[in-house]
Amino acid sequence: MDEFRNALTDSREGTILLIEVTPNAKKTRFPSGYNAWRKSIGCQIREPPVEGKANLAIVKLLAGFFSLPADRIRILSGANTSQKKILLAGMDIDSVLEILNRS
């Protein structure tokens, strides 16, 4: 989906991904749609947003999805909100987009 490109930004360290998280979902799923207004990719997780559980689940989910070690996934902003900027360290936009388009 070409819209995904609008949720990605290039940085010196890798690619920054904008996601919109729905905690307490019935099932964990990424990507779970695209919000054109916010230019963010949906992310549903089963964990609650309590004591960092949701953020840990997001890092684990994205690490598996993009085949990256968890230490290369960093929440840059939005740790306490549903709108998050995530750094995928060492990945370029084209690689991220290719993986997203396979889903």
d(CA 72, CA 65): 13
Question: What's the one-letter identity of residue 24?
Answer: N
Question: What's the one-letter identity of residue 67?
Answer: S
Considering only the top CATH level, what class is 2-97? alpha beta
Residue ranges of the domains in the chain? 2-97
List the chain pLDDT tens, one digit each, 103 residues: 578 999 999 999 999 999 999 999 999 999 999 999 999 999 999 999 999 999 999 999 999 999 999 999 999 999 999 999 999 999 999 999 999 999 8
Long-range CB pairs of 38-46, under 8 A, 24+ apart, other chains included:
38/83, 39/6, 39/7, 40/7, 40/83, 41/4, 41/7, 41/17, 41/100, 43/19, 45/21
Confidence (pTM): 0.93
Q: Which two tokens stand for residue 79?
A: 């740790």
